Amino acid sequence: MYRVLVSADDLIVGFGLRSMVSAGADLTLVDEGDRADVVLADLPDLSEWRLTRLARLTTRTPVVALLGVARVHQAIGLLRQGFQGILFHETYTPESLAAAARAAAEGNRVLDPLLAVPSLPGPRQPDSRPVASVRLACA
């Protein structure tokens, strides 16, 4: 049984996250101040105060940051600060959120599938227009 603390500033978001987590048979929600095996932290804004507080917590308890996909560029920085994982609001489901909580509680790194895809452009598509022949002259 894993003890999960949900940290969310928004009451409705917190309620939704708690509902998702409580669907996991082997997950128990705990209150702030209780000992948790993992923290799921909703981070709609990355305020310096909140990040500092959570970064201190990461030394004792794995923290998985829940971000909007617009913050993908900040995810690596959070991992460097000690966060155990990153999930994006737009991609997680109740099942994947529960799986992430379990994995992080067991000490595994949790990465949203969007982070696993390189942010490089795909292969170039050949141009279907006829290619003009160019003759180079050497002088």
Range of the domain at 102: 2-116
Instruction: Choose among 138, 6, 134: nearest CA to 61.
Output: 6
* Strand partners for 67: 88
Looking up tokens 């928004």 gives: 10
In a domain, 122, yes or no: no
pLDDT higher than 60, residue 127: no
| pLDDT tens digits, 36-62 | 999 999 987 776 667 777 767 667 899
For residue 95, give the 3-state DSSP assignment: helix
**Alpha-carbon distance values, 69 to 23, 49, 89, 105, 109 (Å):** 24, 21, 7, 23, 19
In a domain, 29, yes or no: yes
Residue 79 phi, psi (nearest 5): -65, -40
| pLDDT tens digits, 3-28 | 999 988 889 999 999 998 887 789 99
C-alpha to C-alpha distance for 86 and 3, rounded to whole angstroms: 19
In a domain, 135, yes or no: no
Q: How confident is the model at residue 124 (pLDDT cuts 50, 70, 90)?
A: low
**Which residues 6+ apart lie within 8 Å of 10 measured at CB?**
42, 44
Least confident of 77-86, 94-103, 127-136: 127-136
Return the CATH number at 33: 3.40.50.2300
Domain count, the chain: 1
Q: How confident is the model at residue 117 (pLDDT cuts 50, 70, 90)?
A: low
Whole-model pTM: value is 0.77
Q: How confident is the model at residue 123 (pLDDT cuts 50, 70, 90)?
A: low
